[in-house]
Structure 1
Amino acid sequence: MKHSCIHWFRKGLRLHDNPALLAAMKDCSELYPIFILDPWFPKNMQVSVNRWRFLVESLKDLDESLKKLKSRLFVVRGHPAEVFPGLFKAWKVTRLTFEVDTEPYSKQRDAEVVRLAAAHGVQVIQKVSHTLYDTDRVIAENNGKVPLTYRQLQAVLAGLGPPKQPVLAPTLETMKDCCTPGRDNRDPKYEIPTLEELGQDPKEAGPCLYPGGESEALSRLDFHMKRMTWVCNFKKPDTEPNTLSPSTTVLSPYVKFGCLSVRTFWWKLTEIYRGKKHSSPPVSLHGQLLWREFFYTAGAGIPNFNRMEGNPICVQVDWDDNPEYVKAWKEGRTGYPFIDAIMTQLRTEGWIHHLARHAVACFLTRGDLWVSWEEGQKVFEELLLDADWSLNAGNWQWLSASAFFHQFFRVYSPVAFGKKTDKSGAYIKKYLPILRKFPAEYIYEPWKAPRSMQEQAGCIIGRDYPRPIVEHEALSKRNIMRMKAAYAQRSHSKAAQVEKESTKKGGKRKLPAGPSVVELLTKKPKAKSS
C-alpha cells in the first residue's frame, strides 16, 4: 500500500538523523512536510525576538533543503488538534510521523493528536531522536525511578550500551517514488512567517551571531570537530565565562531546536576520541551531552519539574517576592558590573557561557537577592536561544541548591569570580561601555573609585551607573542561614513522613537524634565564595 504521509517537524528541524522523516518516506506516494505554528507557545511563555529569529531562519533553511529533494515545507497556523482533521481530509492522509517529545505539554498535545489520527484511520509512527536514549526506557531500567545523580544515570546507560547510530539524511533516491503536491504553488497561508507576523520588531533583535538552521549547525560542528586536540582536551570547568569570544562550541541552540542531531554530535566525538587520550565525563564534550540526557530524563519523569511546589525533589524555600530586584537583574542594573555585563550579553546576543549562568543564577537566588529560581527560569526561557524546558528547570534547581546540588554554602562572589579569568575587566568594558574608562583596580567595584576618578571616567556611580542594590558579603552570609533552615525543615518533614509510614505498617521506628532547627540556625557556618 502506498501512503499519503505527513511528517510533522517540531524540534527536529533537520534532514540528517531524522528516523521519523525516513519512516514517512517509506512506501509513500505523497509526502507533506509540515511545521505548525502552535499559539500555545507564545501564550504560555515569553520568547525573545532573537529566538523567534533563530526559529524563522531554521525553517527557511529546512525549506531550502526540502526543495533540493523536490519537496517543500508547509507552515500551518493553529492548534494541532484543530488543524489536523482538515489536513487529514484535504490531503487524504494515511500516515503521520513525528519525533518523540518528552515535555509535559508536548506529551498531552501528542496524545490528543494520536487519538484524532486513529479516529481518521491514520497510522502514527513516533521515533526517538531528540535525545541519545529513550527516556522512558532509562527510567524503566532504573526500576521505574528517575536517576537523581549523574553516576546513577551513567550506571543505567552502561547497561543499555552506546546510543544508536544516527541514520542517513534522505536523498533524491529516497524520494524517487514520492512527490509533494503543491510544492511549486506557494500558497501564502503555508509560507514561513515573518518576524512581524509573529508580533516581533526586527529592529529590536541583537546581532545575529548564531544564525539558525541545519546548514549552519553542520558547518559549525565540522569546524569544531577539526580541532581534534581541543576536542580531546576539552574540560568544561576549565573554559572561561568572560572571554570576548565563546570558549565553548555554542552548539547548544542548534541541539535545542534539533538543527543538529545529538546522536550525530555524540558519534562524531566518538570517532575523534578513538585511539587517543581524551577527557572523560562529566567534564568532556561527551559528558556535556550526558548532562543534557540527565536533565531530559529528570524532566520526563519528575512531576512539576519546572516548579517548586509539588516537585518531590525540590527543597521548599521561602523565597522573597521582589519584582524590583528581578527587573534590575534582568535589565543589568544590579550595580555589580560582572553580573550586569552577563545579563547584557544575554539580552543582546541570546547566549552566555555556562559559568556565567552559574554566577547570575546564584546572585538572583541563594547568593544575594533571595528570589525564587522560578523567576530566573522565566527570564532564561525568554532570552536564551538554547532555552530548553528540561535543562532550564534542572539547572535552575541545581544552581539555587534546590535539587541535585546541595552545597548551598558555596556562593559565587559577584566580584571575585569574574576577576579569576579577566583581571582587566575587558568583558565588562565590552558589554558595559559606560564603565570602559575605569582602571582595572575598580572595574569590578566602581563604587569604590574616588569621586575624581569617576568624573575622569565620565561615569558617576549612582547617577550614570547604579550603586549595588545589595551588600554581597552581609547578605550571602544571611542567606546561607536561610538555606540551612530550609534544609532542616526538609529533613524534619522527611523524618515525619518515614515515621508516619512506619506507624501505618504497625511499628514505630526510632529516629536518630539530630540538631534542632534552632541549633542549625545558631551554628555559624564557614562561608565559601568562588
Structure 2
Amino acid sequence: MVSVMWFRRDLRLEDNIALSQAFEQSEKLILLFQVNPDQFLKDSMNHAAFFASVQHFKEVIHKRGMHLQILYGDVEESFNALKEKIPDWAEVYFNQDEKGYGKARDDKMRAFFKKNDIQVHSYMDHYLHSAYEIQNNSGELYKVFTPYYNKWIELDKPTPMKVKLDTDKVYKKTLFKENENKLEKLVEEADLDIDYNPGTIAAHEQLEKFIEERLDQYKKERDIPLNEGTSRLSSYLRTGEISIRTVWDAVKNEADSESQKTFLKELCWRDFYHMIYVGHPEQKEKAIKENYAHIRWDNHQESFEKWKQGKTGYPIVDAAMRQMNKTGWMHNRLRMITASFLTKDLLTDWRLGEKYFQKMLIDYDAANNIGGWQWAASTGTDAVPYFRVFNPTTQAERFDPSGEFIRKYIPELKDVKKKYIHAPEKMSTEEQEEAGVLIGSDYPAPIVNHSYARKRAISIFEESKDA
C-alpha cells in the first residue's frame, strides 16, 4: 500500500505534523509538491521566492537520500495522473488550509480522493490555534482583537514535534521527469534578483539571531524602519520552512520581558487574521464593514502608478515602496503608512494596493495582508477609525527622525539637510541646488496635499457610512 505526503506551505522535514504521521503510519511513501500554474503571478517576487524555496527544499530532500516528486498542472488532473501511474496509492497526508484558495482546493480534492478510495489524513499545522478553536461566550468567532488575545494567551500552545525520517520508506524513482524540468525552468525564468536565503537552516539561523541580538529591544526598536529591530521570520513562516510552534517555543523559553510579551502578541495577530479570513471568506474582494462597501474611490491610475514606483513626493512613502520593489520586503510600520496614504490620501481602492503587495512581497500571507489593508482602509473588523488618517510627514518625523532610511532608498535626497528631508519641497531654489536635487524634476513634488486629502477622505467615508 502506497501513501502520499502532499507538501504545501510546510517546506520542512522537522516539526511537521502531517509528515510525522505519514512516516509513522505508511509502508511506502511518496513525497510530492504540486505546482498549479493557475496560481502564478506574472513578474512576481512573491511567486519567484516561493518556488525558489520549493526548489531548495527539493534539493534538501535529495541530500537526505529521498526524492520530492513534482506534479505540474491542474491539481485534479495531476493527481489523477499519479493515481494512474501508482494504482495502489491508497492514502494521502497533508496539512490542511481553512481559508482562501487553499480551502477551495482541499474541498475539491477531498471529493477526488473519496471518489478514488484514497483515505485522507489532514492536520492543522500552520497556526498555533485553528480558526474555530477560540470563540466568544456566544459560540461565535471574535471580531475584536483584544478579547480574542485575552483568551488566546491563556490557552496552552502546541510544542515542536519530532519527525522520524525513514528514508527506506520513500519512493525514490522519479515519476514525472518532465514536471521536474518545468519546476527548474520556472525557477530559472523567475530570476529572483534579490538577497534571498531559503531553507530551514537559514530560518533557524534567523530565529537565533533575532533572539540573541534583537529580542530584548524588540518593543522599542520594532517600529524603526532603519533598524534591524524585527524578527524577519515572516518569509520563512509563509513557506513553512520553520514552524510557528518552533518560533513560539524558542521565544517563550527566553526570560520574561515586555519585549518578549510584545513579540508573542504579534504571533496572536497572525492567528487572529487567519480566524477573520475564515469567518469572512469573501474579504479579499469585499469590505467586511458593509457601511464602507460602496466608497466612491477615486482610483486615479497615474497616482496609483506613482505610488507603486515610489514617486509620490512624500519621502517616507516613496522610500517604503522602493524598499519593497527592490527587496521584496517592507517594514510593518511602513506597510501601515503606505496603505493609509493610498487609501486615504489618494482615495484609491484598498484592493488594488493589496494585490500589488501580493505580487511584490516575498512574505505574502493572504490573511495578514488582507487584514492589514482592510485595517488601514477602515473597512475591516477592528480597523483604524475612518477619521484617523496617517500624516506621512509626521509619521516619518517620528519613526525616521534623521531621515537615514529615506536617504537609503531615495539617493536623490541623500544630501538634503535633516530639516527638509521629510518635506524637501519646502527648500528654496538655492537650497535645492545646494542639495543637488531639483524638486519637480529630480524628485517629484507632492502629488496631493495631505490636509486637503484628509478632509476629502473623511467626507467620502462619512457619505458612504450614511448612505
1:51 Cα shift?
Answer: 2.6
**Alpha-carbon distance in 1 for matches of 2:58, 2:190:** 23
Local SS of the residue matching 1:131 = coil
**Alpha-carbon distance in 2 for matches of 1:67, 1:390:** 32
Please say if 1:82 is aligned against 2:77. Answer: yes
Superposed CA RMSD: 2.4
1:151-187 deviation digits (Å, cap 9, x = unpaired): 232344367x21222211333xx445x132316x993
1:241 Cα shift?
Answer: 3.7
Residue identity opposite 2:223 in structure 1: E
- Counterpart in 2 of 1:515? none
Q: 1:143 to 1:50 in 2, by over 3 A?
A: same
- Residue 50 of structure 1 contacts residue 383 of structure 1 at CA under 8 Å; is this kept in 2? yes
Please say if 1:16 is aligned against 2:19. Answer: no
User: Aligned match of 2:236 in 254, 274, 281?
Assistant: 254
Please say if 1:432 is aligned against 2:427. Answer: no
1:117 Cα shift?
Answer: 1.2
Local SS of the residue matching 2:186 = coil
**Alpha-carbon distance in 1 for matches of 2:452, 2:289:** 32
- Counterpart in 1 of 2:218? 234
Counting only pairs closer than 5 Å after superposition, residues 11-90 of structure 1 correspond to structure 2 as 11-42=9-40, 46=41, 48-90=43-85
1:197 Cα shift?
Answer: 3.0
1:466-493 deviation digits (Å, cap 9, x = unpaired): 111101122212322332333344xxxx
- Counterpart in 1 of 2:199? 213
**Alpha-carbon distance in 2 for matches of 1:365, 1:355:** 16
Q: Which structure 2 segments of 5+ residues have no match?
A: none
**Alpha-carbon distance in 2 for matches of 1:315, 1:225:** 41
Residue identity opposite 1:207 in structure 2: I
**Alpha-carbon distance in 1 for matches of 2:21, 2:181:** 25
Counting only pairs closer than 5 Å after superposition, residues 106-505 of structure 1 correspond to structure 2 as 106-139=102-135, 143-157=138-152, 161-171=155-165, 174-176=166-168, 178-182=169-173, 187-191=177-181, 193-194=183-184, 197=186, 200=189, 202=191, 205-208=192-195, 210-227=196-213, 230-232=214-216, 234-235=218-219, 238-243=221-226, 245-273=227-255, 276-279=256-259, 284-308=262-286, 311=288, 315-316=292-293, 317-366=295-344, 368-403=345-380, 404-489=382-467
Local SS of the residue matching 1:380 = helix
1:202-235 deviation digits (Å, cap 9, x = unpaired): 2xx4431x422222112211222334xx425532
Q: 1:78 to 1:314 in 2, by over 3 A?
A: farther
**Alpha-carbon distance in 2 for matches of 1:452, 1:232:** 45
1:101 Cα shift?
Answer: 0.9
1:345 Cα shift?
Answer: 0.3
Q: 1:436 to 1:197 in 2, by over 3 A?
A: same
Local SS of the residue matching 1:408 = coil
**Alpha-carbon distance in 2 for matches of 1:280, 1:148:** 25
Q: 1:152 to 1:76 in 2, by over 3 A?
A: same
**Alpha-carbon distance in 2 for matches of 1:417, 1:478:** 20
1:318 Cα shift?
Answer: 2.3
Q: Could you tell me the TM-score, scaled by structure 1's length?
A: 0.82
- Residue 61 of structure 1 contacts residue 215 of structure 1 at CA under 8 Å; is this kept in 2? no
- Counterpart in 2 of 1:501? none
**Alpha-carbon distance in 2 for matches of 1:379, 1:121:** 41
Q: 1:157 to 1:362 in 2, by over 3 A?
A: same
Local SS of the residue matching 2:27 = strand
Local SS of the residue matching 2:318 = helix
1:293 Cα shift?
Answer: 0.3
1:407 Cα shift?
Answer: 2.6
Between the two proteins, the alignment pairs up a number of residues equal to 464
Q: Could you tell me the TM-score, scaled by structure 2's length?
A: 0.92
1:424 Cα shift?
Answer: 2.8
Q: 1:350 to 1:451 in 2, by over 3 A?
A: same
- Residue 11 of structure 1 contacts residue 257 of structure 1 at CA under 8 Å; is this kept in 2? yes
Q: Which structure 1 segments of 5+ residues have no match?
A: 490-530
1:70 Cα shift?
Answer: 2.1
1:68-102 deviation digits (Å, cap 9, x = unpaired): 44211122211111111111231231111111112
**Alpha-carbon distance in 2 for matches of 1:459, 1:446:** 9
- Residue 142 of structure 1 contacts residue 156 of structure 1 at CA under 8 Å; is this kept in 2? no
- Residue 15 of structure 1 contacts residue 170 of structure 1 at CA under 8 Å; is this kept in 2? no
Local SS of the residue matching 2:203 = helix
- Residue 314 of structure 1 contacts residue 397 of structure 1 at CA under 8 Å; is this kept in 2? no
Q: 1:88 to 1:428 in 2, by over 3 A?
A: same
Q: 1:459 to 1:200 in 2, by over 3 A?
A: farther
Q: 1:406 to 1:440 in 2, by over 3 A?
A: closer
Q: 1:392 to 1:277 in 2, by over 3 A?
A: closer
Local SS of the residue matching 2:140 = coil
**Alpha-carbon distance in 1 for matches of 2:224, 2:334:** 5
